[in-house]
Amino acid sequence: MSKKKGYKNHSFIEDGKIVLIIGASSGIGKNVALALANYGAKLIIVARREKKLIQTTRQLRKLKIKVLPIIGDIRDRDDRARIIAHSLKKFGRVDVLINNAGLGKANLFLEQPISEIDELIETNILGLIKMTKLVIPIMKVQNEGLIINISSSLALLPVYPFAVYCATKSAVRTFSDCIRDEVKEYGIKVSTVFPGPYDTEFHKVAGLDDSSFQSYSVLKLAEKIAKLVIKPKENLIQPWFYIPLIWIATRFRFIKRKITLPISKSIMEGKIKKEKLEFTKKEEKLKIVVKHA
């Protein structure tokens, strides 16, 4: 197996640590799995779409990686229990949990159906908290572990029209910050990742027309997250130039009010899929009819 230069002496490679990645059938999770394959990790990969997860499994096995695929939905209590049971049966431990499963929905809060709000909260925050709750006791017994929570740059710099998504990702950030001190004494570390826009299925799932969307290569981000597994740090903002951008925009509120929000509003309006806008317009008419009836 080929090992990346510069990380050869790290115990991670020698130990062949067990990494559990939630949401590895596409995008960031899949590419982190492939990046970690280069570092000798043993992987447990989870997602709902069987076909896509098996594709990832095949790619990893070609690299001679020990991988356990588990089809599961982190919103489901039995699935979460099954993920843990199968992981322990196969490998006997979990060294790293990557809470990556998540989705966004581009929708005005006033227009957003409750079912969409439920999906965002149940996946992005409840699923993540409940997976963490199951894995921490295992790491406590091991007296070591690492939890990587995938938040978003939108947790730091909220934009239009992602109110509920931004709220879930801020919750991920706050949750990570709160448990970090609590689990430190058991040798467990907690990292939070704040990605900007990357080329995954995220935009399609969110209902954005991504054909002209400016996004960055997910390969580079995946490599950075894989390195985080080897050398953990509390926060990772990517791409790097989002660090000064976020710093400036959060310190000077007028920038957010006068620049960030209006710009994101005009950009997003052009990118929300046309069918969605038409649907919204129809809804608007319906409301007026009801009002005057």
Ligand X SMILES: NC(=O)c1ccc[n+]([C@@H]2O[C@H](COP(=O)([O-])OP(=O)(O)OC[C@H]3O[C@@H](n4cnc5c(N)ncnc54)[C@H](OP(=O)(O)O)[C@@H]3O)[C@@H](O)[C@H]2O)c1
Query: Catalytic amino acids?
Result: 165, 169
Confirm or reject binding of residue 23 to ligand X (CB under 6 A). Answer: yes
> Is the peptide bond prior to 195 cis by the omega test (within 30 degrees of 0)?
no
Q: Specify the residue for token string 């609590």.
A: 182
Q: How far is the CB of 291 from ligand X (least distance, A)?
A: 36
Q: How far is the CB of 155 from ligand X (least distance, A)?
A: 9
Count, residues in the chain: 293
Residue from 191, 200, 260, 264 that binds ligand X (CB under 6 A)?
Answer: 200
Cα 214 to Cα 231: distance, rounded to the nearest angstrom: 30
CB-based contacts of 161, cutoff 8 Å, min separation 6: 106, 107, 108, 109, 265, 268, 272
- Give the range of 46-54, 80-88, 133-141, 173-181 binding ligand X by CB under 6 A: 46-54
Q: Which residues in the 129-168 window bind ligand X by CB under 6 A?
A: 150, 152
- Give the range of 44-52, 136-144, 156-164, 254-262 binding ligand X by CB under 6 A: 44-52
What is the identity of the amino acid at 223? Answer: E
Q: Which is nearer to ligand X, 76 or 144 (CB)?
A: 76
Confirm or reject binding of residue 52 to ligand X (CB under 6 A). Answer: yes
Residue from 202, 225, 230, 260 that binds ligand X (CB under 6 A)?
Answer: 202
For residue 170, what are the CA distances in angstroms to 153, 154, 167, 180?
A: 9, 8, 5, 15
- Give the range of 97-105, 129-137, 240-248, 278-286 binding ligand X by CB under 6 A: 97-105
Q: Which is nearer to ligand X, 100 or 192 (CB)?
A: 100
Cα 120 to Cα 145: distance, rounded to the nearest angstrom: 27
